[in-house]
Structure 1
Amino acid sequence: MLESLITSKTRIKLLLKFFLNSNNSAHLRGLESEFGESTNGIRLELNRFETAGLLCSHSEGNRKVYSANVNHPLFIDIQRIVHKHLGIDQLVEQVALRIGELESVFLTGAFARGQESSFLELVFVGKKVDREYLEMLINKASLFIKREIHFRLIDSDEKESILQSAGKEKFLLLWQQNN
C-alpha cells in the first residue's frame, strides 16, 4: 500500500526505521550498510526529511546521528500510517482485544529495530491466556494483514527479566491493558 503512495524505496525504509520505533537513531554509514544502498540516495532523503522537520540530528564525534522529531505535528499521523502499512493496528484489533487476561503486546525483531522483514515478531504478556485460542487468532490476523506472524507468550512475572536481558530498544510496546 505505502509503495503505491511513496515511490522511493529509500524513503519507505527511512519511514519504517524512524517512525515505527521513535527511539531508533542512525547515522549515514550505518543506514548504508543496513539498507544496502548508496550513501548519496540515503543522504538526499535524510536531508529532505530534516528540512521538513520530520527528523532531527545531532553530532556524535564526526558522525551526524538522525532520529525522528517526535514533536513534529505530523509525527503521530505518520506513525499511524506506518503501523497501518504493517498491519499492526488490525493485529491489535483482531488479537489483543479478544484474549482475556492479556497485559501487553510488544513488537520485537527486525521491525522493532526499524528494518524491513517478511514477518512480524510479537511477545504477548499475560496470565491464563489460552494458547490454542491465541494461535487461532494469530493465524486469522496473519491472513488478514497478509504477513507471517511469529509470537511468544510469556507470563507477566517473566516480563521484566526478559525485557532487561534483551535491552529496551529491541522491544516496542504496541498495546497495554488499561487498569
Structure 2
Amino acid sequence: METLFTGLITSKLRIKILMRLFLNTERHAYLRELAEEFDSSPSQIKSELDQMREADLLTSRKNGRQVLFSANTKHPVFNELHSMVKKALGMDRILDSIIMRLGNLQKAILVDDYAKGKDSGIIDLVLIGDIDKQNLLDLTIKTERYIKRKIRTLVLTPEEYEKLNNQWLNRPFLILWECERASSTPAVS
C-alpha cells in the first residue's frame, strides 16, 4: 500500500491503523477486529496500538473485557493526521471534483468500508441532489485513475434520500460534505 505515509512511517501496520482510525473518528476498533482485518497477529497489533497510545495518538476505553481504540481528536496534530489520511485515500480529490462540477449537490456521504476507515479499494459514495450523471461518470473515471481506487456512486434526489434515511442508520457512514441550504433535509445520525 503506497500512500502519503510511506517513507514517513516505516511500519505498514501502523499506517493501516492510522488509516482505519483517523478517517472517520466516530469509529473505533478492538484489537482482535484489527488483527483479523489486517491479517496480522494480535501481538503485532497490540504492539502498534500500545506505541500509538503511548504517543497519545489513540485513546482507549474498556467495554466489558475488550478495549476499544479510537483516534485522539484532542491531540495537537490530529487535524493534520486526519487531513493526511483523507489525502492518502484520495478523499480530497473526490470532493473537489464532485462539489465543483456535478450540478446541485446537497450532500455527499461516504458509506461502508471507507466510512469505517478500511481501505478496501472500493469507495462507496451516496450523492444527494440534482446531479449531472454524465459528468459524474466522466469525473469518476478520471478520479479513479488518479487515486487508484474504484468509486461506486448512488445518486438520490432529496426525496428519495428522505424515504431511505433510516436505511443508513445501521451502516457505517461519514458525511463528507453538506450544502448549508440542504440543512432542511434530515441528517443521518
Q: Same fold (TM over 0.5)?
A: yes
- Checking the alignment, whether the CA contact within 8 Å between 1:113 and 1:169 is kept in structure 2 is no
Q: 1:74 to 1:168 in 2, by over 3 A?
A: farther
Q: Does 1:30 align with 2:23?
A: no
1:63 corresponds to which letter in structure 2? Q
Q: Does 1:121 align with 2:124?
A: yes
- Checking the alignment, whether the CA contact within 8 Å between 1:24 and 1:169 is kept in structure 2 is no
Aligned twin of 2:158: 156
TM-score, normalising length from structure 1? 0.91
2:77 corresponds to which letter in structure 1? L
Taking only aligned residues, the RMSD between alpha carbons, in angstroms, comes to 1.6
In structure 2, stretches of 5+ residues that fail to align are 182-189
Q: Mean alpha-carbon deviation: is it higher for 168-177 or for 109-118? A: 168-177
Aligned twin of 2:61: 58
Q: Does 1:144 align with 2:146?
A: yes
User: Distance between the aligned counterparts of 2:103 and 2:119, measured in 1?
Assistant: 31
User: Distance between the aligned counterparts of 1:30 and 1:147, measured in 2?
Assistant: 24
1:125 corresponds to which letter in structure 2? I
Per-residue deviation, residues 72-102 of structure 1 (Å, max 9, x unmatched): 1211110100010011101111222211210
Percent identical pairs in the alignment equals 35
1:145 corresponds to which letter in structure 2? I
Per-residue deviation, residues 96-149 of structure 1 (Å, max 9, x unmatched): 22112101111112111121212211111113x221111111112222222221
Pick one of 89, 100, 107 that aligns with 1:104.
Answer: 107
Aligned twin of 2:73: 70
Aligned twin of 1:167: 169
- Checking the alignment, whether the CA contact within 8 Å between 1:23 and 1:169 is kept in structure 2 is no
Q: Report the Cα offset of residue 168 of structure 1.
A: 6.0
1:103 corresponds to which letter in structure 2? Q
TM-score, normalising length from structure 2? 0.87
- Which aligned runs of 4 or more in structure 1 are off by greater than 4 angstroms? none
